[in-house]
Homo-oligomer: A and B are copies of this chain.
Amino acid sequence: MKNFVYESPTKIIFGKGTELQVGQEIVEKGAKKVLLHYGGGSIKKTGLYDRVVKSLEEAGVSFVELGGVVPNPRLSLVYKGIELCRNESVDLVLAVGGGSVIDSAKAIAVGVPYEGDVWDFFDKGIVPETALPVGCILTISATGSETSASSVITKEEGWLKHAFRYDRIRPTFAILNPELTITLPAYQTASGGTDIMAHLMERYFTNEPNVDLTDRLIEGTLQTVIKYLPIALKDPENYDARAELMWAATIAHNGILDTGRIGDWASHRIEHEIGAIYDVAHGAGLAVVFPAWMKAVYSHDVARFVRFFHRVWGLEPDFWNPEKTVLDGIAVMENYFRSIGMPVTLEELGVPDDRLEEMAEKSNWNGPVGQFVPITTEKALEILKLCRGHI
């Protein structure tokens, strides 16, 4: 187990009706004027927007608003948000939505007090000095952005999708009401659930020995997601299933499952390149990339993969032929993804295979990706080709 520092100060307010506490929570944080940041407007259809505004007004919090965040959130809207916050002297950014909205809010929050171009943080590794506080009301169980210190933004010019990490953009509070996810389309529920699973698997596949406790915590969280995702799809109004998924999404990504170990993250980096060009749902892209990545790297540590498919997916290990257990396991996982309506090939994802070289190269813009096995441009291309499926 490696030395580590763990700090996850986000206050989590979880459960039915909790969005009505948002105004009070902002007052407690000492903020007076917020940027209300959201996506395509579904929060207006569901009535969430009205409940949030009511709570803000009752608490005496004033606000300006900026909607229009899209999946794979764009840098141009971040610039707009920064300008608006500066002109209106906003002192907290409130994200109401999913991971894209929260990521966009984080980028705005760190951009407001910075004199240079906010993209510097994503592109040049410049370390910020401060940021506005961020709060959020989550509407989809997926990215874990609600307690994470990271943000992923896409720059339209060149379709560059880069991630950035800074402790002070971690939300100061996160309101998690599983009821808000009941109206999600099935595809988004499944894609979000797949993203949670991917976050857990990225952490699971590590070269660090002696991390049994976090191994087991990851396994248990993954088993929970695997169980409840089909239940939520079959019975969208099942609060208990929605609640398990929402809490699992947060635990998967709040840092506790990283402690003492180094995760992989190559699959995410490769998927980012697909998402940057083709604008696919992040989780759907991961359902395609992750099995391909596994096929390309499992021989690096067969035992870890056997234990994974045994403990998490319930496969009986073939002790004479452990590699068979792994390949069987990958097939079981692919079938699971198909059963929840996710694609497992590029074709099923709606992505042509004529720009694989370009994506492989872009994945390595900053050198090989992945900690479990370093994925070079060549290896990334091998994985992307495997994403075409059994051809």
Interface set of A (CB-CB < 8 Å, partner B): 1-18, 209-210, 212-213, 216-217, 219-221, 223-224, 227-228, 240, 243-244, 247-248, 251, 256, 259-260
Contact A210 B240 (CB under 8 A): yes
Residues of chain B contacted by A5 (CB below 8 angstroms): 11-14
Q: Can you identify 23 A-B contacts, CB atoms within 8 angstroms?
A: A1-B15, A1-B240, A2-B15, A3-B17, A3-B18, A5-B13, A5-B14, A6-B12, A6-B14, A7-B9, A8-B8, A14-B259, A210-B243, A212-B227, A212-B244, A213-B220, A213-B221, A213-B244, A213-B248, A216-B221, A216-B223, A217-B251, A256-B256
Copies in the complex: 2
Contact A213 B224 (CB under 8 A): yes
Per the bound structure, the CA–CA distance linking A224 and B221 in Å amounts to: 16
Per the bound structure, the CA–CA distance linking A215 and B219 in Å amounts to: 12
Per the bound structure, the CA–CA distance linking A260 and B176 in Å amounts to: 12
Per the bound structure, the CA–CA distance linking A14 and B261 in Å amounts to: 12
Residues of chain B contacted by A210 (CB below 8 angstroms): 240, 243-244
**7 extra A-B contacts, CB within 8 A, seeds A1-B240, A3-B17, A251-B256:** A1-B243, A1-B244, A2-B15, A6-B11, A212-B227, A216-B221, A219-B220
Per the bound structure, the CA–CA distance linking A157 and B161 in Å amounts to: 66
Contact A247 B15 (CB under 8 A): no
Per the bound structure, the CA–CA distance linking A244 and B211 in Å amounts to: 7
- Closest partner residue, chain B, to A311 (CB atom): B220
Per the bound structure, the CA–CA distance linking A240 and B2 in Å amounts to: 10
Residues of chain B contacted by A248 (CB below 8 angstroms): 213
Residues of chain B contacted by A220 (CB below 8 angstroms): 213, 216-217, 219-220
Per the bound structure, the CA–CA distance linking A13 and B209 in Å amounts to: 20
Contact A247 B223 (CB under 8 A): no
